[in-house]
Structure 1
Amino acid sequence: MALIILIIGFAFIIGSTFLFIEIADDILEDEKFYIDQVVQDVMESARDTWFHSLMETITELGSVPILTIATIVLVSYLFLFKKRKWEAIFFGINMVGISLLTKGLKLIFQRDRPEILMQYDGTGFSFPSGHSTGSIAFYGFCIYLVARSRWKSRTKWLCNSVLSLLIVLIPLSRTVLSVHYFTDVLAGVSLGLAWLLVCIFGLQILLWRRRHHHFN
């Protein structure tokens, strides 16, 4: 079972990385994506609706201030109260790493946004979507922590269902609010997923080696 999970995980890393590179390559060549226009036209019809208002709230859960505060709180909790040092360290690496990757790539590609809307953090460059990379990294790692916890199965399922929903809705909100192209979001999700899995695999390998060394 562990081998199957490992193979699937590496397949996701490779697939996500490949998808990001494909989109990034086209953006470097200043390609225009038909799907971006289609999604923008569809999302335009959602303006002034309850769904648009909901997305205005949801998008805040992927903002830099919220994720930064939540990361500091969770890392401190894991390190100081749960004494799970390595999980805390890798959580920190996960979030700091994805932040640096996203900022660096934005400076490299310098893609303009569909619209500049400061009230939705719609400033700066567009590619890749920082809300998408950050939410995948943060809430994805939370899913991993919940899965490894000793909570009851029903509680785990409920928590991870909510976290998974946020992972879908936060990136979606960026296209609904017209501050990102669909390809910005797709690339952000791909990059965030690849980085998240690399960090989780790194942590799992470290924990396995420590347990193996302890038993020997």
Structure 2
Amino acid sequence: MKNKSAVILCCVWFIAFLLSVFWVIQIKLDILPYIDRWTSEIVPLVHGSATYQFFRIITELGSSNVLIPIAIAAAAIFVLLYRHWYPALLLLAGSLFAHLLNVFIKQLVARERPSISVALNAEGFSFPSGHSMISMVCYGLIAYLLCKKIRSEKLTWTVQIVFGTLVCLIGVSRFFINVHYITDVIAGFTIGFAVLYAYIRLDKRIPDWRQK
């Protein structure tokens, strides 16, 4: 069952990656991807509504003003929980790398946002969504490091679902408040997941430092 789920997840990611590459080509050719043309009609429908206000609050959980303190606080907690500096380094290094990679790709693609807003942390280029990508890595590593210390399978699933839902909502919020196209969000999730997976694999390959 686990192997089957892993294969399905891998296939979904690969399709999303290929789509992201295709969208980059379209963007560089000044072609608006079809999915962005179709979904752009949804955004005006929620503007000013309760849904918009909900996502306006959720999006802050992926902003640097909130994410940095959360990452630092979580790193400090993991030092105490694991009695070692390594988990804190893994979390902070992974989050920083995701940020730097996001900036690099944004400069490379150079896509303009659907709208600019300083208040909504929406300045600079658009593709891929930094909130989607960095939240995936930061909250994903927090969930991973927490689950390593949890013995209950039900609690492990709960932690994964809660953090997974949070990351999804943060990414989707960027679309609904009209500071990113939906393709920016999907690409952010796709690249962010690859970075998260790479850091988890790195952790699994490092010898058991707790016994040193």
Same fold (TM over 0.5): yes
Contact 2:74-2:142 within 8 A present in 1 as well:
no
2: CA distance between counterparts of 1:3 and 1:86?
A: 29
What residue number does 1:155 align with?
Answer: 155
1: CA distance between counterparts of 2:32 and 2:138?
A: 30
2: CA distance between counterparts of 1:141 and 1:199?
A: 8
Greater relative contact order structure (CA < 8 Å, 6+ sep): 1
Contact 1:13-1:197 within 8 A present in 2 as well:
no
Shift of 1:119: 1.6
Contact 2:147-2:159 within 8 A present in 1 as well:
no
Deviations 1:30-68 (A, max 9, x none): 221121122121121011211111000000000012111
Deviations 1:183-210 (A, max 9, x none): 11111111101111011111111146x6
Which structure shows the higher helix fraction? 1
What residue number does 2:114 align with?
Answer: 114
1: CA distance between counterparts of 2:43 and 2:11?
A: 32
Contact 2:56-2:173 within 8 A present in 1 as well:
yes
2: CA distance between counterparts of 1:86 and 1:15?
A: 34
What residue number does 2:46 align with?
Answer: 46
What residue number does 1:64 align with?
Answer: 64
SS of alignment partner, residue 119 of structure 1: coil
Q: CA RMSD in A?
A: 2.7
Bigger shift: residues 11-20 or 135-144: 11-20
1: CA distance between counterparts of 2:72 and 2:170?
A: 20
TM-score by length of 2: 0.87
Shift of 1:4: 7.1
TM-score by length of 1: 0.85
What residue number does 2:82 align with?
Answer: 82
Structure 2, unaligned runs of 5 or more: none
SS of alignment partner, residue 143 of structure 1: helix
Structure 1, unaligned runs of 5 or more: none
Contact 1:23-1:183 within 8 A present in 2 as well:
yes
Amino acid at match of 1:202: L
- The sequence identity of aligned pairs, in percent, is 28
Amino acid at match of 2:59: T
SS of alignment partner, residue 157 of structure 1: helix
Pick closer, same or farther for the CA change 1:82–1:116 going to 2, 3 Å.
same
Pick closer, same or farther for the CA change 1:44–1:131 going to 2, 3 Å.
same
Deviations 1:107-149 (A, max 9, x none): 1121111011222112111111110111111111122123212
In the comparison of the two structures, how many residue pairs are matched? 212
Shift of 1:161: 2.2
